[in-house]
Amino acid sequence: MLLGVVDSLVTGNRLTGSGAALLAMRIELSTNVRVGGNVFRDWQVGILSVGSCGVVAVGNEFIRVRQPIIMKGAPCSADARGLKLQAINEIEALKDAARARGDRRFLAALDKAEERVWRSLRPEYWIDGAHLNAKHGGKVFDEERAALHALLRKGGAAKDSPIRCELERRLWTKTEQSELGKRCERIANLLLEADEVLARVALDDAQNAAIKNPKKADDVMHKIARGERELSKAFEAWNDRRYDKAIDRFRDAWKHAQEALKQAAK
């Protein structure tokens, strides 16, 4: 959980106040500005990530931080595609190590994982960096699940067990295996961070959607509530490092948000 002081201020790309330690916050923007491909209107609640890279520049507009939220820590932006590209860069670095050691098993696993992440980035699945196509976007989560299944032994690990990459153990020392496991875990976390962004943004969109038919209001709120429950379950699975289950829960949260948006538009 991330904690910080409410009501810090952001000007341009600088964050001031003791809330600067936050990696992600719920924010409100005072004017129409575009951040990471998303347009935020007058005092509309949105999500923006901050950290060592600072805040995405928004000119001279002020951003007033209101309610810190739980988020696993996208380092610089709430752009899910950017997080996936970071994961691909991490995979490429591990492929260099696998080639140097002659670990064909590890290299094959990394190739499969990378291919699946690239598949999840197909343009037809995406609207922008934080929004998926309602019809086909669910496939993004399926591809990520397959990527981690290829990369990690058994697709994840028990809560207190070390993360292991899918590699030829006889070629690596125990210390090296441990270090590689940490790097594979980082890849898993980057992909889960992307899923969190997608689910959270979709639920925020549903919460802020205008309901065309008042008779549908209860249906909309029911779908949102179900999505929020799935989000909580996703965090539980993530904390236990049951990555495949966490991805499934984020996918279900996203789906409930899409159903809520559909009901709101009827």
- Measure the CA–CA gap between 79 and 141, rounded to whole angstroms: 15
Residue with tokens 């932006």: 77
> In the structure, what pLDDT confidence band is assigned to residue 240 with cuts at 50, 70 and 90?
confident
Question: Residue 44: what are its φ and ψ, rounded to 5°?
Answer: -85, 135
Q: Does 195 score more than 50 pLDDT?
A: yes
Please report the pLDDT score of residue 7 as a whole number. Answer: 31
| Helix H or strand E segment including 117 | helix 104-120
- Measure the CA–CA gap between 24 and 78, rounded to whole angstroms: 8
Please report the pLDDT score of residue 161 as a whole number. Answer: 74
Contact 232, 261 (CB under 8 A): no
pLDDT tens-place string over residues 43-61: 333 333 333 222 332 332 3
Mean pLDDT of 23-37: 37
- Can you give the residue ranges of every domain in the chain? 9-68, 80-265
> In the structure, what pLDDT confidence band is assigned to residue 197 with cuts at 50, 70 and 90?
very high
Name residue 170's amino acid: R
Please report the pLDDT score of residue 14 as a whole number. Answer: 33
Between these two residues, 203 and 16, which has the higher pLDDT value? 203
pLDDT tens-place string over residues 57-114: 233 233 333 333 223 333 334 589 889 998 999 999 999 999 999 999 999 999 999 9
**Which residues have C-beta within 8 Å of that of residue 161, sequence separation ≥ 6?**
241
Percent of the chain residues topping a pLDDT of 70: 68
Please report the pLDDT score of residue 153 as a whole number. Answer: 82
Can you give 118-162 as a three-state secondary structure string? HHHCCHHHEEECCEECCCCCHHHHHHHHHHHHHHEHHHCCCCCCC
Between these two residues, 3 and 192, which has the higher pLDDT value? 192
**Alpha carbon separation from 184 to 163, 180, 187, 197, 264 (Å, rounded):** 7, 6, 5, 20, 40
Nearest CA-CA partner of 155 in 191, 126, 128: 191
Q: Does 157 score more than 70 pLDDT?
A: no
DSSP 29: E
**For the chain, how far is it from start to end, CA to CA, in angstroms?**
37
Please report the pLDDT score of residue 160 as a whole number. Answer: 65
Nearest CA-CA partner of 26 in 90, 99, 85, 78: 78
